[in-house]
Amino acid sequence: MSEMLVTKDTLNEMMYKATTRAACIIPRDCRQAIENGERREETEVSKGPLSFFLEACDAGERGRTLCPDTGWQIFWIKMGENVRIENGVSNIQEAAKQAVARATGEGYLRPHLVHPLTMKNPLNNVGVHAPAVYIQFDPAIDYMEIVSVCKGGGGELFGGVQRNLAEADGKKGIIKFVLDCFMHTSYSGKTCPPGVIGIGIGGTTATSAQLALEAACLRTIGNRHPDKDIAELEDELLTEFNKLGIGPMGMGGKTSALDVHIEYALTHFAGISVSFNTFCCVIRRATARLDLSGHIEYGDAPSWNYR
Amino acid sequence: MEIKRLRIPLSENDVRTLRIGDLVTFSGLLFTGTEVFHKRAFEQNVTPPIDFKKMNVMAHAPLSIKRGASGEWEPMQWDKFAIMVTAGSRFEPYLPRLIQQLGLRAVVSKGSMGEQTKKAMAQFGCVHLTENSRLDKPGTADTVKRVVEAYGYDEVGPFEATWVLEIEDWGPLVVDIDAHGNNLFDQIEQIAIERLNKTYAHFNIPLDFRYSMALPDSKEESYYSR
């Protein structure tokens, strides 16, 4: 496989453009799901949030941020073994910080990330573990893909819950936890429903939380897990969530979730860590893929299949 | 559905006639408050120099507005000023007392408030409204006519400052807690809880299911409780 050198400038450009695109341009799968939801809703109050949301998507096309709350910036970077980074791989971290600071300065991101105890605000969303950068190497690919996500506060703060179960609680325990989380977190529209629910099952607490986050952020609406049992559970939970009547922004209605994505990891035979995560209805993700020819393709569907 | 167009200041009669589910717009001067405003008003009885009798509507809104190089106010994320409400439930420890202390007639946030706020609203004549959309039509919003004042901007920054805004027809907002002890979201939740019991049955989860390992702060584990 021929080597590919990614220059500092290319890296910076990919990260910055993916981030501004994430903040402004709604992914096609999300827009489609929202449009379907709007058609399905019957009352003015349940249609309202979805109609306004579609207006915001149009404004986004003109370079306006989809939602004021641009949340936490997260980058997932996937690259083949052939990818070399100018001045070394650790430059990815620095490029991410620069991209976020620039996008914040230009008004694409709200400067609201603060020190958790002192509330001190650097006003550029950059600091300790901010932005988050996750890097994966995949020997099967010969390109580099950067996924930029703005993870809004509502979905993350109100829609993130974790619990460790005993193996004896089994599938019933897992499903009960997920159902209760959904009820609790979507009450009064705290998580900005209808969103995408990510569920992580198994692994350490960190693994299960990460899987739930990735399930919510990286898989497109309609995508199903390759494991048939898991895929069936995804369908079943989506149907059941939408029967509850919570509706857009919790105002009542038929569209309470856009999709359910589940990821699992092998777990200890004594217990199961279960994590619940929510991406609010304003799904903000964008991709930048650099191929061997040096061409950068910007899009919204991560090629996330590394399990 | 008819939209009730109200002008600030609101009278007690204005808010007593509202019922959950009503659609409302506001015009006039309102102020915003987030963490710093609530904490200082609650703990130190210190508030910006606002005549709360004339300005009795508060929005829980961290505004994306900055002072430009020329000293003029500029929107940070869009080309127009917009009000963006934030989750109100995090102000539940403060709001019940502030309703009485400041004589508030309406509070607007994303989502809803808790039991104590509901009680205070019924007692003192105040309503809570939620934005039907979290998004105040970014980029197209034209409800904010003018930024009148930004108390504390230099000290605590734009998101914690208390902004006074002149607004025209902001809404439609939905009344989710009225001044008669009703909460729209609790009614929706009651229906959802009944349906949830059927969902448990669908998955063969007994209503008295108990987890083997309790959480540190949990007492009741048998079924959904908020």
Contacts of B138 in chain A (CB under 8 A): 56, 59-60, 64-68
Percent pLDDT > 90 in chain A is: 86
pLDDT at residue A38 is higher than 90: yes
- Amino acid symbol at B101: Q
Contacts of B203 in chain A (CB under 8 A): 172, 175-176, 179, 240
Among partner residues B79, B134, B189, which is closest to A187 by beta-carbon distance?
Answer: B189
Mean pLDDT of A18-41: 97
Contacts of B184 in chain A (CB under 8 A): 251
Distance from CA of B69 to the nearest CA of A (A): 14
Which pLDDT value is given to residue B221?
53
Among partner residues B62, B135, B139, which is closest to A53 by beta-carbon distance?
Answer: B135
Q: Is B108 helix (H, G, I), strand (E, B) or coil?
A: strand
Nearest residue of chain A to residue B79 (CA atoms): A64
DSSP string, B5-65: EEESSPPHHHHHT--TT-EEEEEEEEEE--HHHHHIIIII----S--TTT--EEE-----E
Among partner residues A112, A166, A177, which is closest to B212 by beta-carbon distance?
Answer: A166
**Which tokens hold the place of B86?**
């934030």
Residue that has been written with the tokens 């903040």 in this structure: A23
Q: Is A160 helix (H, G, I), strand (E, B) or coil?
A: coil
Mean pLDDT of A97-119: 94
Closest CA to B226 of A241, A157, A185: A185
The pTM of this model reads 0.93
Q: CA A49 to CA A192: how far, in whole Å?
A: 9
Burial class (CB in 10 A: 0-12, 13-18, 19+), A189: buried
Structural domains of chain A sorted by starting position, each given as residue range(s) with its CATH number in brackets: 4-25+66-152+285-299 (3.30.360), 154-279 (no CATH)
Report the residue of A115, A188, A237 to disrupt the B interface, i.e. the one with the largest count of B CBs within 10 Å.
Answer: A188
**Chunked in runs of 10, what are the mean pLDDT values of chain B (226 residues)?**
92 97 94 95 95 97 91 85 88 96 96 96 97 53 86 93 93 93 96 96 93 76 45
Which pLDDT value is given to residue B133?
61
Cis? peptide before B172, omega within 30° of 0: yes
For residue range A179-234, list pLDDT tens digits in order: 999 999 999 999 999 999 999 999 999 999 999 999 999 999 999 999 999 999 99
Which pLDDT value is given to residue B218?
65
Which pLDDT value is given to residue A63?
83
Q: CA A210 to CA A198: how far, in whole Å?
A: 10
How does DSSP classify residue B91?
G
Return contacts of B24-27, CB within 8 angstroms, 24+ apart.
Answer: B24/B129, B24/B171, B24/B172, B24/B173, B24/B174, B24/B175, B25/B169, B25/B170, B25/B171, B25/B172, B25/B173, B26/B57, B26/B106, B26/B167, B26/B169, B26/B170, B26/B171, B26/B173, B27/B167, B27/B168, B27/B169, B27/B170
Q: CA A109 to CA A16: how far, in whole Å?
A: 11
Q: Is A130 helix (H, G, I), strand (E, B) or coil?
A: strand
Distance from CA of A154 to the nearest CA of B (A): 8
Which pLDDT value is given to residue B135?
44
- Amino acid symbol at B225: S
CA Rg value for chain B: 20
Instruction: Provide the number of CB pairs (under 8 Å) joining chain A to chain B.
Output: 172
Percent pLDDT > 70 in chain A is: 99
Is A52 an interface residue toward B (CB < 8 Å)?
yes
The answer to whether the CB atoms of B226 and A184 lie below 8 A apart is: yes
Q: Is A205 helix (H, G, I), strand (E, B) or coil?
A: helix
- Per-residue burial over A270-286, b if 16 or more Cβ lie within 10 Å, else e, is ebbbbbbbbbbbbbbbb
Q: How far is C-alpha B52 from the geometric centre of its chain's CA atoms?
A: 17
Which pLDDT value is given to residue A304?
76
Which pLDDT value is given to residue B223?
43
Which of A:106-125 have CB within 8 Å of B?
A: 107-108, 110-112, 119, 121, 123
Which pLDDT value is given to residue B219?
63
Is A100 an interface residue toward B (CB < 8 Å)?
no
Residue that has been written with the tokens 């409780």 in this structure: B225
Burial class (CB in 10 A: 0-12, 13-18, 19+), A181: buried
**Which tokens hold the place of A38?**
């709007």
Distance from CA of A84 to the nearest CA of B (A): 35
Q: Is B4 helix (H, G, I), strand (E, B) or coil?
A: strand
Q: CA A199 to CA A185: how far, in whole Å?
A: 14
Lowest model confidence (mean pLDDT) among A1-15, A59-73, B128-142: B128-142
Which pLDDT value is given to residue A172?
96
Nearest residue of chain A to residue B208 (CA atoms): A176
Other CB atoms within a 10 A radius of the CB of residue B147 amount to 18
Strand partners, A165: A272
Multiple choice CATH, B3-182, 3.30.565.10, 3.40.605.10, 3.40.50.11540, 3.20.130.10: 3.20.130.10
For residue range B187-218, list pLDDT tens digits in order: 999 999 999 999 999 999 999 898 988 887 76
End-to-end C-alpha distance for chain B, whole angstroms: 31
For residue range A109-123, list pLDDT tens digits in order: 999 999 999 989 999
Query: Can you point out the beta strands (E) in chain B?
Result: 3-7, 23-32, 57-59, 65-67, 73-75, 106-109, 127-131, 144-151, 162-177
Q: Decide: A195 and A276 in contact? Cβ < 8 Å.
A: no
Report the residue of B3, B39, B60, B77 to disrupt the A interface, i.e. the one with the largest count of A CBs within 10 Å.
Answer: B77
pLDDT at residue A12 is higher than 50: yes
Distance from CA of B226 to the nearest CA of A (A): 6
Which pLDDT value is given to residue B138?
47
Among partner residues B84, B199, B213, which is closest to A179 by beta-carbon distance?
Answer: B199
C-alpha distances (whole Å) from A85 to each of A80, A138, A154, A277 are: 12, 15, 35, 32
Length of chain A in terms of residues written: 307
For residue range A242-288, list pLDDT tens digits in order: 999 999 999 999 999 999 999 999 999 999 999 999 999 999 999 99
Contacts of B212 in chain A (CB under 8 A): 165-166, 168-169, 173
